[in-house]
A and B are shown apart, each in its own frame.
Chain A
Amino acid sequence: MKLLLENAHIEGIRNYDIYRKYGGYRAVEKALKLTPDEVVEEVKKSGLRGRGGAGFPTGMKWSFLAKPEGVPRHLVCNADESEPGTFKDRYLMEFLPHLLIEGLIVSSYALGSNLTFIYIRGEYAWIVDILEQAIAEAKSKGWLGKNILGTGFDCEIFVQRGAGAYICGEETALIESLEGKRGNPRIKPPFPAVQGLWMRPTVVNNVETIAAVVPIINLSGEEYAKIGVGRSTGTKLISACGNINKPGIYEITMTESVEEFIYSDEYCGGIPKGKRLKACIPGGSSVPIVPANLLFKTAKGETRYMNYESLSDGGFATGTMMGSGGFIVFDEDQCIVRHTWTLARFYAHESCGQCSPCREGTGWMYRILKNLEHGKGKMSDIDLLWDVQRKIEGNTICPLGDAAAWPVAAAIRHFRDEFEWHITHADEAQKRNFGLAHYADPRPVSAS
């Protein structure tokens, strides 16, 4: 079942007339007949959880927004999308720009934002044009601007380009950047809901979260909540990449098993060249990597499904996280040490440098991993690496520190023998990869 991508294949859906012909902007018509609080109530009932990574209930977040008399409030859409493995927001904006604009109008109405921003990563330069075109079309048809549909509600949406900084995806860093400053996260509290953009109450939501508000209003919150499973309601976009036959964007109802998602032709289509599966990072680079033997079945032996609860079953010891839905697959020929090293380089590069555990720790992990990967490591380096990551986690202003620590911790936890092999067989490690060892792939070699 598709809610967001239902019409994605229709030619010309990027243009207003076609989008409207296929039922576009009905959610605005419907929502603007309700009171703003009633719209918030629908979103609460839907059970929608933030699609940016943290999975916080959107309706609850909206109800926390402070409403002091005479102070403007703002909605900011987080289109910074920079978590390695994640490229779903790009797809939504590139092919269904009006879906995002429609969601933003409804959400701005619910929150009382007359001035709303889309903060988009600077590299998505061509998408800025697509969004601005959609905004201009919506405005010329009276969905934006002054007194929308005669309700007295005014709303303007502007697209703001960032300039290359992963940290600006963190909501307070994003706000700083939108104020024309360096992307240094703020110490919380105060939370953006109380003091955000220009110290005014602000809600920051992910692109996919905002887009999901459209089907929620069209169906009603209650009906939306019936899709999915448990506290994983609705549909989720997964951006699948790595060693799979069919990389791309998939909309799932979170009832699919991980095995089905990787091997069925409806989704990733299996692993190229009949190779075997080694590991997977299901929710973007920051979430723990899991070896194949813990991927399809949880430690309790139950089938693992593509939803928030099932993916995190077992905690960090044997589970992982849904995160942003950046699904990265590793075949038997991939080197975990090398991969972890590239991620450590990424986080060291992206640390804003405000807190010493993160600034020093990410660089330190990067240098240790570089040595290990290049055959210059010592056995004690593995424990040192473990120690450094542990001292970053929980000791920083923003969660980037944790995001840098977790992938390293998980790699050591599950692939320690591969790290050790890089030390005991330093020369060999320069020429070939460790391979599968005991990370049993539950599927026979001949499958797919």
Chain B
Amino acid sequence: MSISFSETKLKEVNGIIARYPDGKQKSALIPILHIAQEENGGWLDIPTMDYVANLLNILPIEVYEVATFYTMFNMKPVGKYVFEVCRTGPCMLNGSDDIIQYIKDKLGIAEGETTPDGLFTLKPAECLGACGYAPMMQLGKFYKEHLTKEKVDQIIEECRKNAGVNN
């Protein structure tokens, strides 16, 4: 049930731990949780967090309290593609409300929900540092900026194609 990192991932983890002075390996926690989340299909369950605690030789509670603090760590399963659409003031001035509504209608989900096919999750986000290129969303590692309804259609299309789904 519990994940375990491959040899290469373990090497990466040890490389990160080696950045810090002796005894300060806990500093590697957030970078390693990012890796763990990626390896575990986009979220952190208890066995995964326990595995990380073990790697760093810290208590499981030290991992839970950190994982639950930061919004980028998902405590429940998410879809294959997570649309994190910014809704803070500057994006709102440029129409983020309409984009969010459009995505909700198009995918038939509310904020925080995942489509039944497990492909898409809509996660409202607060300012992502792209206010001049609004409206925008984060999708995986990259930003999609200057969103329009047409652009949202295209993004959804592309995701479906990449996932091998025909609609």
Contact = CB atoms under 8 A, between A and B. Distances in A.
Interface of A: 72, 81-87, 89-90, 115, 121-126, 156, 158, 160-166, 177-183, 198, 239-243, 247-249, 285, 326, 328, 330, 334, 338-339, 342-343, 345-346, 349-350, 352
A323 to B, nearest CB: 14
A240 B134 CA distance: 12
Contacts of B27: 160, 178-180
B129 A87 contact: yes
Find the residue from B30, B56, B70, B133 having the highest chain A CB count within 10 A: B30
Given A166-B126, A198-B21, A180 B94 contact: no
B165 interface: no
Nearest to B84: A123
A81 B127 CA distance: 10
Contacts, number: 143
Interface string B62-97: 100110011111000000000000011110111000
Contact of B65 (A72, A84, A182): A182
B130 interface: yes
Given A123-B72, A239-B132, A330-B93, A163 B127 contact: no
A156 B20 CA distance: 11
A330 B142 CA distance: 28
Contact of B129 (A90, A163, A338): A90
B29 A180 contact: yes
Given A162-B30, A163-B72, A241-B90, A85 B131 contact: yes
B14 interface: no
A160 B19 CA distance: 10
B72 A122 contact: yes
B69 A182 contact: yes
Given A81-B129, A346-B127, A339 B92 contact: yes
A342 B89 contact: yes
B28 interface: yes
A163 B31 CA distance: 9
B132 A163 contact: no
A198 B24 contact: yes
Interface of B: 19, 21, 24, 26-31, 33-34, 56, 58, 62, 65-66, 69-73, 87-90, 92-94, 126-134, 138, 141-142
B129 A121 contact: yes
Contacts of A163: 30, 33-34, 70-73
Given A85-B131, A342-B87, A342-B89, A180 B26 contact: yes
A339 B72 contact: no
Contact of B128 (A123, A247, A343, A349): A123
B126 A349 contact: yes
A340 to B, nearest CB: 8
Nearest to B126: A346
Contact of B131 (A180, A182, A328): A328
Given A121-B129, A242-B94, A179 B26 contact: yes
Contact of A86 (B21, B29, B93, B131): B131
Given A163-B71, A165-B70, A241-B132, A84 B90 contact: yes
A247 B70 contact: no
Contacts of A182: 65-66, 69
